[in-house]
Structures are given as structure tokens and as C-alpha cells.
Amino acid sequence: MLAIVLAAVAAVAAPAEIAQLEWARAPASELAALMAEPADRVGALRALGRLRSSDALPYIEAARSDEEAEVRLAAARALATTPGAGPALRSWLAETPPARGLGPRAREAQGVRVSLIEGLGHQGDARDVETLVAALAEQWPYAAAAAHALGRMGRRDVYGVERATGALVRLLSRPDRRTVEAAAYALRRIGLGDQPDLVAEATRAVEGAGSEVARAWLLRAVWPALELDARVDLFIVAITDPSRHLQVAALQAAGSDVPADIVAPFLASQDPWVVSEAVGALGRAGDDVAVEALSGVLAQTSDVWRQAAVAAALGGAGVQDDAPPRVRAASVAGASDEELLGLALTDADPGVRVAAAAELVERPGTGRPLSEATDPLVRELGLALIIERADPETAVAVLEDALRDEADERVIITVLEGVVALLDKAPRAAWRLRSAVQGRLAKSVGAEPRLRLAAEAAAEGLELPFDSPHLEPGRPRSVKIGGEPVEVLTGVPRDGELRGLRGARVETTDGVFDIELYPERAPLTVVNFARLADAGWFDGQAWHRVVPGFVAQTGCPRGDGWGGPGWSVPDEVSLSGFVEGAVGMARAEPDTGGSQWFVTLAPQPHLDGEYTHFGQVVRGMDVVRHLERGDRVLSVRIRRAE
């Protein structure tokens, strides 16, 4: 993030051994063994931080006193994403005062201090709130880093973080836009509670802050603390403001507290962001005026994606049986009729089936039927539900059948992870699965990292032998593109494969934009992205998710956010900044990214240290800002240096 801007180190391509170990999520000790040269130490520390394992702490802390400045900086960044690093961050920060001057030593010390401050946001607790509040009084970049850290603590519900609100509100008067945005972000995540003076001051800043992003965050921060009449007044001020970020924030905040007849006219807006959020606001309002307005849109629009959004807002009301699959899938979300959901599970369209399954997992007693479905995604949801909620006897019976019969890799990963979870909850029952797990282990040798790791964990818990080499080269995998099978290489980059990778040109139905790729920061992700692009994987896919003011996302072959290429890529998280136009890898759980990627539509500090940032839009951001759900990627062409 800010540390990258202030104290960037020379880009060093990860050596082959580090790349292989990182792909395999190898133990920390194996990565630490490669820290002989400074360049290797930087790469190994980066990989150790991405493990997100407390096992890496001793090796990272040992680099704190390294004679090379870039190694010390890499260690500070690695601590930020390592669980249990709070004490190390605390003690190192106490020994690292704000740096003065512009020389190399000052820049290095500045980068280290910023990384340590941000690290407390990820790993700190109530003891660190006062330290961060004190840092708010410092100048940029320390004040902004401290505000971001406090915002992350707010997201984590750290006890006592609300004590920072007064200092954060005072920060809004700073002349530096970046610091003001950081303070507004923190207030959005922490809230203002019952503090009338602070609420009043922050409300004034909604109209007066210099950054439209800061104004939008502040509106969301003050909204819960306002009386009903004050909310309506603020809504009218914001919705008539020329800033689309502020208009969107007002609509995102609105529900039954803003009369539907005030919101409904914005369904006719020319701005797709405004229309999208007006639909959501009316859905939350749910009164007769809102239903009438949404029903009118459903009847008049021929855009399937808009129909789907309205159907979801209406809870499925008014959707015909012969509606397009995307609309039927949206209507299933939130449906209460279990007979309807049961029928939807047998729908010919996979999107409708998965939407019904996702809704049914919230109902008691539905795990077993879902786990026996023909659709592997539905089975995965059902098995996850059984693992989480069923009694041990039921869980053992279902997992035993799946270990014997299941063919889908993604489902098997869920099953093996379920065995490990059952060992914690009911070890005696889980041991009855020992024979079934043993029969599955041979099929997991040489498999992709997530499956191999799940097999290793299950084998260890059940005291079974399992020797799967994880330093294996990538292998070609078959994917379907345009209905035809295409071979795509997976795994670690081959010799020379990263060399020359510079960017990508993305042609969409709305226009063209250019991405600068970061192979030195996220080599595994960049190579995977380039391989898929070269194969034509992204061509013709929809921008299936566009959240105004947040992200535009694509890369799902199904078009509903549940699809991927059939393999996953380890996360390559860093403290690099998810500013507007940042290109990141989408995922569900850690290390589950495959082909879905997104572009941020505004700064998103909460993604730093959580998601892989592998590129930046450098030309054509206006095109990205006007993407709508259902727009298409026409092509992604990788740019390489000659």
C-alpha cells in the first residue's frame, strides 16, 4: 500500500524454487532454507508472509535485523499478514520513530514504519488502539496508515476501537486528500455511535470534504446515527449532488427510511450505477409504491441482467415460469417456498440449480438431498452444510459415500476438509473414516495444491502414510472454450515465461482499456492470467458482477460467480494499494482464485493484505467506470516486451 509508494524495492523475480514452494504452500521451514542471498531473502519473506501461518514468525522476525534495507522492509510487510504477529509488530514499531529527510535510509525507515502501522490493523488488538490514535497526529503517510489500520480494526470488531472516532473526525480538516480519505474510510468501518457533536461535524464534511470518495464513506458512516428526518434531508442533498459516488452512497444507505416515491424517479437515470442502486433501495423499502415501480421496470425492460436485478429486489414476485434462466435464478434468491426451491434444484439451467441450493443451505434438514444432487456445485454446498451442522453419525455416513464415489476435484477438497473438521469436533466418529480416506489418498498424489494439502491434513489427523511430492512442474489441463476443449498449462511459471510480461489490452462491448501487469509482485497469478488470456478463456465472458463504487468483475464461464477453470492459484497478498483501477484476483476462501478477476471502481483499503493485486488500469478507466452487468469482454490480449 503506502509502503509500496514510499519505499519500493527493486523488482526481483522469485527464483524457481521459491515459486514452486509458494505454489505448493510448502511449510515455512522449506522457504526459510532458501534465504541465503539478499534477493532470495526478499522473495522468501514475501512468500512467508503469504503463508498466513504463525509457523513463519520466527523466520520473519530473524530478518528484522538484516543488514539489507530491502530485506528489513520485506520482513515488516510479511509480519502484517502473519497471524500472531501482534507482539513483534508492537515492539518493532516502538523502536522505529517517524523518519525525517528524503535520503535512502529515511525512505527505508519510513516504509518500515508504515508497514508496521498497517500491520497492527491486520494483527493488532485493543492494546494497539491508543498507539494508532497517537499516530493519527503525525503527518502523511503515517496518519493515513494509522487511519487505515483503525478502519481494519473496525471491520474486525476490535474492542475499544470506537475510542478513535474523535481523532478521526478531526483528521477530516487536514489539507491532504489521501489522509482525509483514510479517515473517512475508518469512520465508515467503525461508525460514530451516539456522539451528537461528532455526528454533526462528520455530516457537515459530507458536503464539504475535498474528495468525493471521502464524502461517500462519510455519508455511510453518519447514516445510522441520524434521525429519520435528517436521513431524508441528507439523502436529498446527496442524490442531487453531481458526484455519482455520493449519489450511489445515498441509495446504498436508503431503505424503508427514505420514501419510495423519492427514490423511484431515479430508475430513469442515465447513470447505470444510479439505476442499479435505486433498484436495490426500492427492494429494501418493499412497500406498495416500491413494488409498483419495480414491477413496471420488470415489465418494460428487455435487458435480461436488469430483469434479474429487479427480480431479486422483488423476491421473485411477478417472474414468469418461462423467464430467461438468469431471471429465474435471481427470483430464486430469497424465495421462501421450499416446494419452489425443490423444483428449482432440478431446473435444466445450472445457474438456477445453484441459486436454489444456495438458498436451501439456510434451511434445516436440507443437507442430505443437496449432497446427492447431480450438479457438483450443489453437492459441494450440501456437503459443506452437513459438515457444519449435521450430527457426527450423519456426517460420517455422507462423507464415507463421497470418499468412495465422488469424482469432482472441487467436491473432494470439501470432503477431505470436512474430515479434518470432524476430527476436531468428534474424533471418535471421524476415525471410522480412516479406511475410506486411505482409499482416496492415492488419487491425491500429484494433484493440485489445495487437494494435496487437504489430503495431507486428513492423513496426518488419521495417522495415515501420505507422501505426495509438491515440487512438481506445471501440467496441462483441458478447459472448454466456445464448447471446444483447449489445453492450458497450470502450475509454476516455466523458465523464461515471466520474462517480458508487461500488460494486457482488454476489449469490451463498452470500449478498450489497458492494464499494467505486476509479474514481480504476483508471478503465479500473472502467469495464470496470461495463460488463460492466450487461450481465449476470457473472450465473450460477461461482466457478471458490477457493484457501483466497488468493483467490476469477470472471468466466470458460468456468468453467475460460481465458475472457474477447474484449478486454483495460491493467493499472493501484499500491502500494495487497491486504489481505483487496481486489478485483483477474486476468490471465495483463501487460495481459491482461478480465473475470476476484478477492477476496483474506487479505493478499497480493506482489500489490502487480503486479496492478490496483480495489475493496474493505466489507460481507459472511463470505460471501466461505465461497465454494466451483462457487458462482455470481447478479448484479452497480453502485451509482451520484444
Residues 633, 495 share a domain:
yes
Residues 584, 500 share a domain:
yes
pLDDT of residue 76: 97
Residues 609, 481 share a domain:
yes
Residues 40, 17 share a domain:
yes
- Residue 205 within a domain: no
29, 51 in Cβ contact below 8 A? no
Q: What is the rounded distance in angstroms from the CA atom of residue 259 to the CA atom of residue 18?
A: 58
Q: How many domains is the chain built from? A: 3
pLDDT of residue 344: 82
- Residue 344 within a domain: no
Q: What is the rounded distance in angstroms from the CA atom of residue 104 to the CA atom of residue 102?
A: 7
Residues of the chain with pLDDT under 70: 1-15, 334, 362, 364-367, 470-473
Which of 390, 387, 412 minimizes the C-alpha distance to 402? 412
Q: Is the pTM of this model over 0.85?
A: yes
Strands 582-585 and 484-489: unpaired
Question: Where residue 532 sits, what CATH number does that domain have?
Answer: 2.40.100.10
Residues 486, 377 share a domain:
no
CA angle 512, 631, 245 (to 5 degrees): 80
Residues 630, 543 share a domain:
yes
* Alpha helices (runs of H) in 426-522, residue ranges in sequence order: 427-430, 434-441, 449-461
Residues 518, 627 share a domain:
yes
Residue type, 372: E
pLDDT of residue 334: 67
Residues 636, 507 share a domain:
yes
CA angle 270, 275, 277 (to 5 degrees): 145
- Residue 184 within a domain: no
Per the structure, the complete domain to which residue 530 belongs is given by 477-640
Q: pLDDT digits over 16-40, tens only? A: 788 889 998 999 999 999 998 888 9
From residue 390, alpha-carbon distances to 240, 429, 589 in Å are: 51, 13, 22
Pick the last residue of a domain from 124, 140, 168: 124
Residues 47, 114 share a domain:
yes
Residues 578, 482 share a domain:
yes
DSSP per position, 326-357: HHHHHHHTT---HHHHHHHTT-SSHHHHHHHH
Q: What is the rounded distance in angstroms from the CA atom of residue 135 to the CA atom of residue 138?
A: 5
pLDDT of residue 442: 84
Q: pLDDT digits over 571-625, tens only? A: 999 998 899 999 999 998 899 999 999 999 999 999 999 999 999 999 999 999 9
Q: What is the rounded distance in angstroms from the CA atom of residue 116 to the CA atom of residue 388?
A: 36
596, 564 in Cβ contact below 8 A? yes
pLDDT of residue 286: 92
pLDDT of residue 2: 38
- Residue 584 within a domain: yes
- Residue 256 within a domain: no
Pick the last residue of a domain from 80, 96, 124: 124
- Residue 281 within a domain: no
> Which DSSP state fits 7?
S
- Residue 164 within a domain: no
CA angle 283, 285, 288 (to 5 degrees): 90
Pick the last residue of a domain from 108, 124, 140: 124
Side-chain half-sphere exposure of 413, counting CA atoms within 13 A: 18
- Residue 346 within a domain: no
Which of 616, 611, 567 minimizes the C-alpha distance to 587? 611
From residue 584, alpha-carbon distances to 2, 102, 505 in Å are: 17, 31, 16
Residues 627, 485 share a domain:
yes
Residues 89, 30 share a domain:
yes
